[in-house]
Amino acid sequence: MASHFRSYIWDPVLIVCQIVLMQCIYYSFLGLWLAGVDSLVQTSRSLDQIFSYEALGFATMQGRLSMMAFILNSLTCALGLWFFIRRGKQCLDFTVTVHFFHMIGCWIYNAHLPAALSWWLVNVACMALMAVIGEYLCMRTELRAIPVNSGPKSNL
């Protein structure tokens, strides 16, 4: 009768697998959102749209559409947190981890830290959206009423 909803034993293999899964969700859906945006404005696809901080900007239509793709991706990743992480307490941790690894990827791709204010603003906004919406969805699931079996009662 000792069934546990969630084991609280530290499992590094599970954590690493969840980090890898969230990174895969982040980049695959970001690629899909950017492909959709590119098909709207008939531009070519490039890794610069994902990793170059200069691609995100308020000045050009392509920059604004790329920002929109990043924001839509944060909503998609919030669903990933809900489906695969399922713990409200861990949503912020995984969100920061995903964006930290993205910053490291941008740093390696550009050979220096991103310097554009628009890149930082978009990523902070995306982190906030992903964490808050993911936590909201997970908390709704965690706080769902647990059905109690109302079988026959004995008279004592």
Q: Is the model's pLDDT at 30 over the cut of 90?
A: yes
Quote the domain boundaries for residue 62.
Answer: 48-142
Domain-located, residue 25: no
Q: How far apart are CA 84 and CA 118, in angstroms?
A: 30
**Overall domain count for the chain:** 1
Report residue 42: phi and psi, to 5°: 55, 50
Q: Is the model's pLDDT at 1 over the cut of 50?
A: no
Q: Is the model's pLDDT at 136 over the cut of 50?
A: yes
Q: Is the model's pLDDT at 103 over the cut of 70?
A: yes
Domain-located, residue 6: no
Q: Percent helix, strand and coil across the chain, each rounded to 5?
A: 70, 0, 30
Q: Is the model's pLDDT at 123 over the cut of 70?
A: yes
